């Protein structure tokens, strides 16, 4: 076996190797220090939303006048996957979803251009549509809640906007700080309709007069006396009095103040926000894309602590996501340290040498630095996925180092092989080809019955003169009794396993690289995990072959002392004291220590510098203590190693004997393995399948929905009761209540809906959040006893996509069919025992008062239906006539009737409207009337078909998977005839994500399996052997599924990663075993080669298996923030690796022996082939 030239190059040029890997560590640390910190990886979902406010309009008017024109404008955009619209009172929301892979920035620009083109088709009074792209990274990382008891909220908002916000925006990493819940200033022109009628004016005339008086018109420029002068007409009101003085009728000198009251006030509130019962102004803080969320959060808290607030003001941080991120990072670091320590212990127990332990474990920081360098180049961040990859990598990256170090350690204890002894003994007298021939002759003579010494002398005499032959023969015999040198053992040991290590590394890369490039959202979620692990594994391969070998070749690795030797070392203190005064001064380290000691003394007090005279004594004591400690740990290592070696040798012999007995019964062994695989069918259907595991992040979301049309004040009264009750519960830390809250970040805020975000105390002081949900709902439900129509939803924010467990969109060709099938679907779903809180968007009805013109009465009046609608809109809803400009800010001027004059429907009907034909005013009741009508509160369309949203949650106590229950729901609706006649059901939100995951998981697993097969086949140049090497995969699935079942865990996006990862992890052991067996089969029968391979490869297989299993223990046992995300992965690794290893040790050799035995026998017996040659993987 010739030394690998690449390994030899790095070993011989150790300075180059050391410099290269030190540079890798340096650049990796620099890149790692600059990485951002986020909760989740960066991912891009190509969704763009267009929201439009048209105050006072009903759902039907919004749908026909706003939503439909926008839909039509956007429907022809390329790569559109779905267009959905929701039209509710005064608000339109159109959501466009594009195909994955489309740049969200580009499509956002395209949507904005199309919407701008359709602006002319929208009502004149509608506000300009707002186009927003869906960007999870743009969500606030925390909120600052500012309160001031007894102060006007406008005053508080002004302080936050003018004083506090600018100081927070100066914190490094802050991208924006945005006020939420602040009352807006509004100049109200409250008309007296009857006074306007007395002056023979109309409401539109007043609006037009204000619009005409609030002007800013550029009038050009002139050059005068060498200077350029600009001319502008500017008549913008600057104070409320300016508005009151606007002239409406110049002929009569009528001003706004003659028939209206002008008030400087706040806009009518559409929501109330309180923290622990106190009204607050919220300031949402967003960070820049590449900044560290934890550092930004700490900076915000520091500024708040240093800010001197006005008397009575209080500012506190709420909704802080950085605490979860920070805790996750801390837990990750702890688990990395734990895993590294336990890996060190495993290596120490098996190898028993401190330097070998150090050389193997140092691979962890080196490979992590390489991975961080790749993170920096690809723009990754620290988040729960990338940190999970780092934890997993710690146990994997030492595998290559363990295999290489163990084989090198084995060669260190071996004497020269015949081929190596001959090659070294005749190096100066024979060529390498002649040396090979000499070795073959020696082997031939030994087979003919000669003793080794006689065979060596006889073969040497045939090729060399007598005198030289004696010298050469004596050298060869001497070398056969000597051990390999340190450097030779490194080269031989690394060369022997380089193919197996490379194959195992390529196998892992073939798993992790493809899953990083899966399409859609799932691929983006997997990307950082796959590429991060692939980078760590690649650098671990480089380190094991080209730097670990350097360390083992040049650093001494003495055998640790025994307890007896340690006793002798403890008696060397007098000798150390003597040497400190007589010999140690010759060593550079002595003087370095002296300088450090002197500096320390001078820093305490100059007079203490005289203590330098005691330095030799201190130096001797330090040398003595260091040697004693190293000796102590070395003695412990020796004891552990000897004890484990005693057990391991018996385990190895027992395994070899068992394997020898089972190989002739290979068929039965494979049958047992096949039956074990079939047991997956018993447990797989019982394992719940969700998108993410349930995570206790200490937050509970409560949503209260009252009947449509409930006033904001009425809803707020109920919320205050719930709020007070929650603050009495010992588990509750704070409650952020919002009355008039939106169902999503883009929707309108209906007055009948409220949300309460509850933050709980620490985990250690309360029950699990999912157990508290039921208790809290039971505590709150009695408060709603007098309101049976109220809908109260209490749910834990478990870290998933959010929203109800089941979210569907039912579409139909006609609204009548949609109404019919929706009611039928609700009836069916409410009958399913595993569902609760089943609702539909069509169940909410709005009571409308529709003004219907009387055509007969309008004849001869000159009044049109448009005049009726315009008059009613101005007086009741109000319109923005102009802007008041003051101190660089603009405030809307709203014109409407004084609410005190039109308090009810009868007052609206008595509003005067001018008849140009009759030249008098008529009451609205004379030409029109109100009709009561119920209509859906929200009109929805999906791809321009009528649609309704249906949502539901799992019933309390139900623990099954959303995916399985979702399939039952669809099957039941299809069975009951709901999904027919053009009616279809589409998944939305988290339910759609679960469907995507269920579709992507088999693709990811199959792709990883196929690429793994192709990589191994290419590596060993055969299409048959990879089939044996992949046998551990189905065996690993047995353990993985049973472990999930026994632990009560489920499948989710993290555990799917674990299943795919198993493909690479479990094939490594099979590669180590079969690669060695086939090499041995060149010199002995296959049966003996397999038994010998099992005996010699058991140690590295157990070591690598233990290091991988060690990963799973902190993942399973973790209890910190985000531990629920990591636990399923640990369970998968524990069950999969454990069972695959136990079964692989018998099933893979049995399968190989059963199907390859005859081929090996034929090849060995072939006359064209030497009997000592058997096919290797590439043969």
Cα dihedral 538/540/541/546 (nearest 10): 120
How far apart (Å, rounded) are the C-alpha atoms in residues 853 and 975? 48
Enter the tokens of residue 233.
């007409």
- C-alpha distances (whole Å) from 801 to each of 806, 994, 1050 are 11, 10, 17
**Rounded distance, CA 843 to CA 846, Å?**
10
**Spatial contact of 807 and 949, defined as CB atoms under 8 Å apart:** yes
Cβ atoms of 216 and 234 closer than 8 Å: yes
Is 220 in contact with 231 (CB distance < 8 Å)? yes
Q: Identify whether the C-beta of residue 459 lies closer than 8 Å to the C-beta of residue 445.
A: yes
As a whole number of angstroms, the distance between CA 267 and CA 276 comes to 25
* Cβ partners under 8 Å of residue 519, min gap 6: 100, 101
Output the pLDDT for position 192: 93
Please state, in angstroms and as integers, the Cα–Cα distance from residue 954 to each residue in 567, 666, 791, 831, 985, following that order.
68, 48, 16, 13, 19
Tell me if the pTM is above 0.95: no
Number of H helices, E strands in the chain: 43, 33
CA distances to 422, 466, 479 from 458, rounded to whole Å, are 14, 10, 17
Q: Tokens 């790749």 sit at which residue?
A: 374
Instruction: Please report, for residues 282, 335, 367, 757, 792, the alpha-carbon distance to residue 738 in angstroms, rounded to integers and kept in the order given.
Output: 11, 39, 49, 8, 14
Which parts of 430-485 fold into alpha helices (H)?
432-447, 452-463, 466-480
Longest CA pairwise span in the chain (Å): 143
Cα distance between residue 1103 and residue 645, in whole Å: 13
Across the 1179 residues of the chain, what is the mean pLDDT of every consecutive 10-residue run? 84 90 93 82 84 85 90 90 87 89 87 91 88 80 88 86 90 87 87 91 91 81 81 83 90 91 87 89 86 88 91 89 80 78 80 76 89 90 84 82 85 85 82 84 84 86 82 86 87 87 85 78 81 91 91 76 75 80 76 80 74 80 83 78 84 91 90 91 88 79 86 91 93 90 62 88 84 88 88 74 80 88 90 86 75 87 88 89 85 92 89 88 89 78 87 80 88 90 86 82 86 83 86 90 89 85 84 83 85 88 84 77 78 90 87 87 61 44
* Residue 47 β-bridge partners: 97
CB atoms within 10 A of CB 538: 21
Structure tokens at 999: 């579709």
d(CA 761, CA 776): 14
Length of the chain: 1179
* Residue 372, both tokens: 């961080």
What would the two tokens of residue 838 be? 């089943």
Cα 615 from chain centroid (whole Å) = 55
Contact criterion met (CB below 8 Å) for 676 and 780:
no
Distance of alpha carbon 1062 from its chain centroid, rounded?
A: 20
Half-sphere exposure of 146 (CA within 13 A, CB side): 30
Tokens 């960070």, residue? 287
Phi–psi pair at 941, nearest 5 degrees:
-135, 140
What is the CB neighbour count within 10 angstroms for residue 676?
17
CB 1150 within 8 A of CB 663: yes
Mapped onto helix, strand or coil, the DSSP state of residue 275 is: strand
Query: DSSP character for 161?
Result: I
Tell me how far apart the alpha carbons of residues 903 and 77 are, in angstroms, rounded to a whole number.
Answer: 47
User: At how many degrees (to 10) do helices 5-12 and 520-546 cross?
Assistant: 70
State residue 1176's pLDDT score: 47
Identify the pLDDT of residue 25: 92
Contact by Cβ (8 Å): 1093, 378: no
pLDDT at res. 1178: 42
Nearest to 73 by CA among 41, 105, 113, 108: 113
Give the model's pLDDT for residue 541: 92
Q: Residue 667: phi, psi to the nearest 5?
A: -60, -40
Q: Is 537 exposed, middle or buried (0-12, 13-18, 19+ CB in 10 A)?
A: buried
The CA distance from 523 to 746, in Å, is 26
Rounded to an integer, what distance in angstroms lies between the CA atom of residue 89 and that of residue 361? Answer: 64
Please name every residue paired with 755 in a beta bridge, in sequence order, or none if there are none. 703, 738
């Amino acid at each position: 076996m010739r030394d690998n030239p690449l390994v030899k190059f790095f070993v011989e040029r150790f300075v180059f190797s050391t410099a290269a890997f030190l540079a890798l560590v340096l650049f990796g640390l620099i890149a790692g220090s600059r990485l951002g910190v986020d909760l989740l990886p960066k991912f891009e979902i190509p969704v763009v939303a267009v929201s439009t406010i048209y105050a006072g309009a009903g759902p039907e008017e919004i749908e026909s006048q706003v939503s439909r024109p926008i839909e039509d404008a956007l429907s022809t955009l390329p790569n559109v996957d779905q267009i959905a619209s929701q039209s509710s009172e005064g608000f339109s929301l159109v959501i466009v979803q594009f195909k994955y892979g489309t740049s969200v920035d580009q499509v956002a620009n395209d949507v904005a251009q199309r919407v701008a083109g359709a602006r002319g088709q929208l009502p004149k009074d509608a506000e300009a549509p707002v186009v927003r792209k869906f960007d999870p990274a743009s969500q606030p990382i925390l909120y600052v809640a500012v309160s001031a008891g007894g102060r006007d909220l406008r005053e508080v908002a002004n302080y936050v906007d003018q004083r506090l916000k600018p100081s927070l925006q100066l914190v490094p990493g802050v991208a924006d700080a945005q006020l939420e819940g602040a009352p807006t200033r509004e100049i109200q022109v409250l008309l007296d309709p009857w006074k306007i009628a007395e002056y023979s004016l109309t409401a539109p005339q007043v609006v037009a007069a204000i619009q005409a008086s609030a002007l800013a018109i550029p009038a050009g420029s002139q050059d005068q006396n060498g200077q350029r002068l600009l001319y502008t007409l500017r008549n913008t009101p600057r104070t409320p009095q300016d508005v009151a003085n606007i002239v409406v009728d110049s002929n009569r000198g009528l001003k706004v103040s003659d028939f209206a009251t002008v008030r400087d006030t706040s806009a009518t509130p559409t929501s109330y926000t309180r923290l622990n019962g106190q009204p607050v102004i919220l300031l949402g803080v967003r960070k820049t894309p590449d900044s560290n969320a934890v550092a930004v959060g700490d900076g915000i808290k520091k500024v708040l602590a240093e800010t001197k607030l006005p008397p009575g003001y209080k500012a506190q941080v709420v909704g802080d996501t950085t605490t979860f991120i920070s805790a996750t990072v801390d837990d990750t670091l702890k688990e990395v340290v734990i895993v590294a320590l336990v890996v060190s212990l495993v290596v120490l127990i098996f190898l028993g040498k401190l330097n070998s332990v150090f050389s193997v474990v140092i691979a962890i920081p080196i490979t992590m630095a390489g991975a961080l360098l790749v993170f920096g180049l690809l723009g990754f961040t620290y988040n729960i996925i990338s940190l999970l990859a780092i934890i997993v990598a710690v146990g994997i990256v030492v595998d290559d180092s363990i295999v290489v170090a163990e084989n090198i350690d084995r060669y260190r204890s071996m004497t020269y092989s015949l081929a190596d002894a001959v090659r070294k003994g005749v190096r100066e007298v024979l060529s390498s080809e002649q040396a090979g021939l000499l070795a073959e002759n020696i082997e031939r003579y030994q087979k003919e019955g000669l003793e080794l010494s006689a065979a060596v002398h006889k073969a040497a005499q045939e090729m060399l003169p007598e005198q030289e032959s004696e010298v050469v023969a004596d050298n060869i015999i001497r070398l056969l009794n000597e051990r390999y040198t340190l450097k030779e053992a490194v080269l031989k040991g690394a060369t022997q396993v380089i193919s197996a290590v490379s194959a195992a590394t390529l196998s892992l890369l073939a798993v992790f690289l493809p899953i990083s490039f899966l399409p859609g959202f799932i691929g983006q979620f997997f990307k950082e995990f796959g590429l991060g692990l692939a980078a760590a594994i690649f650098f671990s391969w480089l380190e094991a072959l080209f730097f670990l070998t350097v360390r083992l070749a040049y650093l001494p690795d003495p055998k640790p002392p025994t307890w007896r030797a340690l006793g002798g070392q403890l008696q060397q203190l007098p000798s150390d004291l003597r040497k400190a005064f007589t010999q140690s001064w010759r060593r550079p380290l002595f003087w370095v220590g002296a300088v450090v000691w002197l500096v320390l003394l001078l820093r305490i007090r100059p007079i203490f510098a005289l203590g330098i005279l005691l330095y030799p004594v201190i130096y001797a004591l330090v040398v003595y203590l260091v040697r004693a400690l190293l000796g102590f740990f070395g003695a412990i290592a020796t004891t552990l190693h000897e004890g484990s070696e005693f057990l391991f040798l018996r385990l190895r012999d027992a395994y070899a004997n068992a394997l020898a007995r089972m190989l002739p019964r290979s068929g039965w062994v494979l049958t047992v393995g096949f039956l074990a695989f079939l047991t997956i069918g018993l447990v797989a259907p019982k394992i719940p399948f969700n998108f993410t595991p349930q995570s206790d992040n200490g937050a509970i979301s409560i949503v209260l929905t009252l009947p449509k049309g409930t006033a904001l004040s009425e809803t707020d009264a109920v919320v205050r009761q719930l709020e007070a009750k929650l603050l009495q519960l010992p588990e509750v830390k704070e409650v952020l209540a919002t009355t008039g809250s939106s169902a999503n970040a883009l929707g309108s805020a209906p007055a009948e809906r409220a949300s309460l975000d509850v933050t709980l105390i620490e985990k250690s002081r309360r029950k699990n959040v999912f157990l508290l949900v039921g208790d809290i709902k039971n505590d709150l439900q009695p408060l709603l006893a007098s309101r049976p129509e109220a809908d109260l939803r209490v749910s834990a924010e478990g870290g998933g996509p959010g929203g109800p467990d089941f979210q569907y969109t039912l579409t139909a060709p006609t609204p009548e069919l949609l109404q019919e099938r929706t009611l039928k679907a609700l009836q069916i779903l409410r009958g399913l025992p595993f569902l609760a809180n089943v609702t539909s968007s069509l169940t909410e009805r709005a009571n409308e008062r529709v003004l219907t013109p009387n055509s007969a009465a309008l004849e001869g009046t000159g009044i049109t239906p448009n005049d009726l609608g315009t008059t009613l809109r101005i007086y009741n809803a109000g319109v923005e006539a102009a802007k008041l400009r003051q101190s660089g800010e603009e405030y809307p001027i709203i014109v409407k009737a004084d609410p005190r004059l039109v308090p009810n429907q009868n007052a609206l009907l008595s509003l005067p409207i001018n008849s140009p034909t009759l030249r008098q005013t008529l009451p609205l009741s004379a030409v029109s009337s109100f009709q009561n009508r119920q209509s859906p509160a929200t009109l929805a369309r999906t791809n321009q078909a009528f649609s309704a949203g249906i949502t539901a949650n799992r019933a309390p106590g139900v623990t099954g998977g959303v995916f399985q229950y979702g399939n039952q729901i669809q099957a039941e609706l299809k069975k009951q005839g709901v999904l027919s006649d053009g009616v279809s059901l589409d998944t939305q939100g988290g339910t759609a994500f679960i469907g995507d995951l269920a579709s992507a998981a088999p693709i990811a697993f199959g792709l990883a399996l196929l690429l793994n097969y192709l990589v191994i086949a290419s590596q060993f140049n055969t299409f048959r052997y990879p089939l044996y090497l992949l046998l551990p995969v189905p065996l690993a699935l047995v353990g993985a599924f049973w472990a999930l079942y026994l632990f009560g865990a489920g499948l989710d996006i993290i555990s799917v990663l674990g299943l795919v990862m198993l493909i690479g992890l479990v094939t490594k052991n099979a590669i180590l075993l079969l690669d060695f067996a086939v090499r041995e089969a060149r010199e002995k029968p296959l049966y003996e080669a397999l038994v010998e391979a099992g005996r010699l490869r058991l140690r590295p297989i157990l070591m690598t298996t233990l290091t991988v299993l060690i990963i799973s223990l902190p993942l399973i046992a973790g209890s910190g923030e985000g531990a629920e995300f990591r636990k399923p992965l640990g369970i998968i690794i524990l069950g999969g690796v454990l069972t695959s290893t136990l079964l692989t040790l018998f099933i893979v050799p049995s399968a190989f022996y059963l199907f390859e035995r005859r081929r090996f026998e034929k090849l060995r017996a072939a006359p064209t082939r030497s009997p000592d040659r058997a096919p290797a993987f590439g043969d």
